[in-house]
Amino acid sequence: MTLILYNTLSRREEPFTPLIPGIVSMYCCGITVYDYCHLGHARTCVVWDVVRRYLEYLGYKVRYIQNFTDIDDKILNRAKNEHTTMAAVAERFIEAYFEDMAKLGVRPADAYPRATHTLDGIKRLVYELEQKGYAYPSDGDVYYSVRRFSDYGKLSGRKLDDLQAGASGRVETDDPEAIKKQDPFDFALWKGAKSGEPSWDSPWGQGRPGWHIECSAMVKEQLGETIDIHVGGSDLIFPHHENEIAQSEAATGKPLAHYWLHNGMVKVAGEKMSKSLGNFITIRELLAKYDPLAVRLLILGAQYRKPIDFSDEGLQAATNGWHTLQEGLSFGYKHLPPDNPAITDQELENRFQEAVNHDFNFAGGLAVLFEIAKELRKEGNNLTHAGKTDSNLAQLAVKWHTLVKLSRVLGLEMAADQGETPVSEGISAADIENLIQQRTEAKKAKNYAESDRIRAELKAQGITLIDQPGGVTKWLREGD
Ligand SMILES: Nc1ncnc2c1ncn2[C@@H]1O[C@H](COP(=O)(O)OP(=O)(O)OP(=O)(O)O)[C@@H](O)[C@H]1O
Ligand SMILES: [Zn+2]
């Protein structure tokens, strides 16, 4: 069975072949941290979390990187309004991100690079582009010259000349950057410092990086010049991903990514759910009303490239679906001896794979899970009310193990306490202290990717770290 993916770059379905057999490098454009995450962000994070889990289920070793954009006008504005710093706002919402995603069962990435931790790489890349003639300084800023890159538009299918016609070929006079650009479609790689705003030293003077360049620098630093899969929401195809390609490929002369995959938007009344538009529901608000796994099911029930229209009815239907799965998942905990052998049904797994292998058709995979869950629910009722089942218990045990295994692939694990099995104590205090020690050392070595990863790893296990003055880190276990 071959995994087939729809590649935005080629606009068609292609068999998936990684650069190095058995290994997949994957980069996801993450959150601009100036507010709580909403259901749209949840969709992006859950979809790519499940793609990563599925690739691992197929036997690939996946290195998965997701960034935090922690330098941005929107973060600065919030900091100004709250009389605090950009770093403090970013830190607060990064923390909130980890809390929300842990609740949704999103596994932590292997590293979370941030713009503020990648400045050397960003400056090197801007310098390289300038040396190669793709970038020019202008009054403290540095711009990318899109017309120098002949492949510009290859991802989005937009042609500069059509764009130009759309913009009447005129320079917009209300854009203060416009007069600094040689061409209206050039974009900023580096922006000169404005007074009162955070800035960094550079060959072009004090300033800060533009948005697109950070991802090009992070991909290169974390995964190399060419990666297997670059993902993000479809709203990023143009200009963000188009610009990433222009920057990276002009610098290296190599393809940035072989497969470009994009998830559809969560919409509200036909419009993108968006922080900027204010039409959003935060993950926190949602989880006050709905089970996190119902939210996951809502997301996985739709083809990942299609839009989802947000509605309470949709979430209610997903909640009902989750209850059905839950009943199937509880069968083994209620009715099977704890030591029953973990054998799965290859034929059912094959059907699951056949569905999902076609461009991550998770809804098709879920249909197999529901079929098993409904049978187990029926047989559970038979056992409770008549003391016997229609089919033999050993066969049901195999189906149950299959359901548990495939649910895990989709991140739809049921907490053990919902299945009436002993509740696990979780990670030990000694292991937590050990990880805190490793994190302190990583921070000392300025390896922030590693220290963020350890924080996320602990968060996923319900442990919150509290950094105190003097380099002391305390911890709290959820529910204590
Ligand atoms: N409504 C949505 N549906 C699906 N994915 C989304 C949605 N909004 C943002 N994303 C995705 O979430 C990730 C992080 O987005 P980012 O923080 O840049 O949000 P944003 O688009 O700036 O926020 P907003 O538009 O809400 O102000 C990106 O991959 C983006 O494509
Ligand atoms: Zn990006």
pTM: 0.87
Of 34, 41, 68, the one to substitute when testing ligand 1's pocket (max ligand atoms within 8 A of C-beta) is 41
What spacing in Å lies between the alpha carbon of 232 and ligand 2's midpoint? 8
Q: Which atom of ligand 1 is nearest to the CA of 232?
A: 29
Say what the pLDDT of residue 169 is.
Answer: 46
20-53 pLDDT, tens digit per residue, is 999 999 999 999 999 999 999 999 999 999 999 9
Say what the pLDDT of residue 415 is.
Answer: 65
Tokens 């790689």 belong to residue:
189
Q: Which of 70-74, 136-140, 426-430, 455-459 has the lowest mean pLDDT?
A: 426-430
Q: Which atom of ligand 1 is nearest to the CA of 31?
A: 17
Q: What is the ipTM of this complex?
A: 0.97
Confirm whether residue 358 is marked as ligand binding. Answer: no
Helix (H, G, I), strand (E, B) or coil at 147: helix
Confirm whether residue 29 is marked as ligand binding. Answer: yes
Ligand nearest to the CA of 267: 1
Tokens, residue 186: 């050039």
More confident residue, 440 or 23: 23
83-140 pLDDT, tens digit per residue, is 999 999 999 999 999 999 999 999 999 999 999 999 999 999 999 999 999 999 999 9
Say if residue 325's pLDDT is above 60. yes
Confidence of residue 420 (pLDDT cuts 50, 70, 90): very low
Say if residue 330's pLDDT is above 60. yes
What spacing in Å lies between the alpha carbon of 108 and ligand 2's midpoint? 18
DSSP string for residues in 361-426: -HHHHHHHHHHHHHHHHHHHHHHHHHS--SS-HHHHHHHHHHHHHHHHHTT-PPPGGGGTSPPP--
Of 44, 243, 268, the one to substitute when testing ligand 1's pocket (max ligand atoms within 8 A of C-beta) is 44
Confidence of residue 166 (pLDDT cuts 50, 70, 90): low
Say if residue 429's pLDDT is above 80. no
Residue among 4, 52, 60 nearest 358 (CA): 4
Tokens, residue 376: 């187990």
Ligand nearest to the CA of 230: 2
What spacing in Å lies between the alpha carbon of 236 and ligand 2's midpoint? 8
Judge if the upstream peptide bond of residue 239 is cis by omega within 30 degrees of 0: yes
Q: Which atom of ligand 1 is nearest to the CA of 32?
A: 17
Of 48, 212, 235, the one to substitute when testing ligand 1's pocket (max ligand atoms within 8 A of C-beta) is 235
Say what the pLDDT of residue 275 is.
Answer: 85
Ligand nearest to the CA of 97: 1
For residue 473, report the phi and psi dihedrals to the nearest 5 degrees: -120, 125
- Please state which CATH class domain 21-159+177-266 belongs to: alpha beta
DSSP string for residues in 90-138: HHHHHHHHHHHHHHTTPPPPSB--BGGG-HHHHHHHHHHHHHTTSEEEE
What spacing in Å lies between the alpha carbon of 200 and ligand 2's midpoint? 21
Confidence of residue 480 (pLDDT cuts 50, 70, 90): low
Say if residue 223's pLDDT is above 50. yes
What spacing in Å lies between the alpha carbon of 197 and ligand 2's midpoint? 23
Of 26, 31, 97, 286, the one to substitute when testing ligand 1's pocket (max ligand atoms within 8 A of C-beta) is 31
59-76 pLDDT, tens digit per residue, is 999 999 999 999 999 999
Say if residue 437's pLDDT is above 70. yes
The mean pLDDT of 356-372, rounded to a whole number, is 98
Asked if 24 contacts 61 with a C-beta cutoff of 8 angstroms, the reply is yes
What spacing in Å lies between the alpha carbon of 65 and ligand 2's midpoint? 11
State the DSSP H helix or E strand holding residue 227, giving kind and residue range, or none if neither. Answer: strand 227-233
Q: How far is CA 183 from the centre of its chain?
A: 33
Q: Whose CA is closest to atom 14 on ligand 1?
A: 31
Residues in the chain: 480
Q: Whose CA is closest to atom 12 on ligand 1?
A: 41
CA–CA separation, 185 and 30 (whole Å): 24
Say if residue 237's pLDDT is above 50. yes
Q: Which atom of ligand 1 is nearest to the CA of 276?
A: 27
Q: Which atom of ligand 1 is nearest to the CA of 41?
A: 12
Q: Where are the domains of the chain?
A: 21-159+177-266, 334-416, 428-475
- Say if residue 59 is exposed, middle or buried (CB neighbours under 10 Å; 0-12, 13-18, 19+): exposed
CATH entry, 334-416, from 3.40.50.620, 3.40.50.740, 1.20.120.640, 1.20.120.330: 1.20.120.640
Ligand nearest to the CA of 248: 2
CA–CA separation, 283 and 148 (whole Å): 42
Enter the DSSP assignment of 300: H
What spacing in Å lies between the alpha carbon of 329 and ligand 2's midpoint? 38
Confirm whether residue 215 is marked as ligand binding. Answer: yes
Which residue ranges have their beta carbon within 6 Å of ligand 1?
Answer: 29-32, 40-41, 43-44, 232-233, 235-236, 265-266, 272-276
CA–CA separation, 121 and 132 (whole Å): 17
Q: Same fold for the domain at 21-159+177-266 and the one at 334-416?
A: no
The mean pLDDT of 190-212, rounded to a whole number, is 97
Say what the pLDDT of residue 314 is.
Answer: 96
Q: Which atom of ligand 1 is nearest to the CA of 233?
A: 31
Q: Which of 16-20, 113-117, 138-142, 412-416 has the lowest mean pLDDT?
A: 412-416
